[in-house]
């Protein structure tokens, strides 16, 4: 019987496995950054394509709130979940040439009775308070009372004496409205939520 003290010790094989060859740290970090960048670009592309769109205001019909060459962002999805409301600033295809886009303020919604008397706007027989229209931007035009048809909106520019709007081309069909102006970002001093 072999002496337990003299028995050969079990072989001292390596109990730890060799680590698998790993990529250099810098390469892993670079791949991680590239993946993050790709995901960020995809999200930005989705947001710009389907949700928000930066646009440039051209013309003076929405002064003083929006000036010529001002940069704003419009939300293209908001009207899938909420209704177009009086006071909203909307962007739409110009009814007489759908290659052009206009930006105006919604004054009356479907079913409203709208009229203008010497520049003063009335909706459903009541005068509309318009703090966004300075006195010097009013004009003296009148518009006979009309009912806004279903799926259409009566829109006006804030600079009434300089605006081509529903007084000229009539109410705008809902199908032509493709966004709500929500935020101004340039020039920097005018940055903020649009009202």
For residue 194, the tally of other CB atoms under 10 A from its CB is 18
Distance in angstroms (rounded) separating the CA atoms of residues 165 and 162: 10
Which candidate in 14, 56, 60, 61 is catalytic?
61
Annotated active-site residue 142? The verdict is: no
89: which strand partners?
105
Helix, strand, coil share of the chain (percent; to 5) = 25, 30, 45
Annotated active-site residue 60? The verdict is: no
Task: Kindly report whether the peptide bond that precedes residue 64 is cis, defined as omega within 30 degrees of 0.
Answer: yes
Which candidate in 22, 104, 142, 163 is catalytic?
104
- Residue 100 makes CB contacts below 8 A (sequence gap 6+) with 93, 94
- DSSP-derived 3-state class of residue 145: strand
- Residues annotated as catalytic (active site), given as ranges: 61, 104
């Amino acid at each position: 019987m072999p002496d337990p003290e003299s028995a050969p010790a079990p072989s001292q094989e390596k109990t730890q496995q060799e680590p698998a060859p790993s990529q250099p740290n810098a390469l892993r970090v670079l791949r991680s950054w590239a993946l993050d960048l790709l995901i960020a670009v995809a999200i930005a592309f989705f947001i710009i394509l389907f949700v928000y769109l930066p646009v440039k205001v051209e013309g003076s019909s929405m002064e003083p709130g929006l000036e010529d060459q001002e940069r704003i962002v419009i939300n293209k999805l908001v009207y899938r979940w909420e209704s177009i409301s009086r006071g909203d600033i909307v962007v739409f295809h110009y009814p007489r040439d759908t290659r052009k886009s206009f930006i105006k303020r919604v004054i009356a919604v479907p079913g409203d009775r709208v009229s203008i008397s010497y520049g003063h706007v009335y909706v459903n027989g009541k005068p509309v308070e318009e703090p966004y229209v300075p006195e010097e931007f009013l004009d003296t035009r009148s518009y006979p009372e009309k009912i806004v048809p279903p799926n259409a909106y009566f829109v006006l520019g804030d600079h009434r004496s300089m605006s081509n709007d529903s007084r000229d081309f009539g109410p705008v069909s809902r199908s032509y409205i493709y966004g709500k102006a929500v935020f101004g970002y340039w020039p920097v001093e005018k940055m903020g939520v649009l009202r």
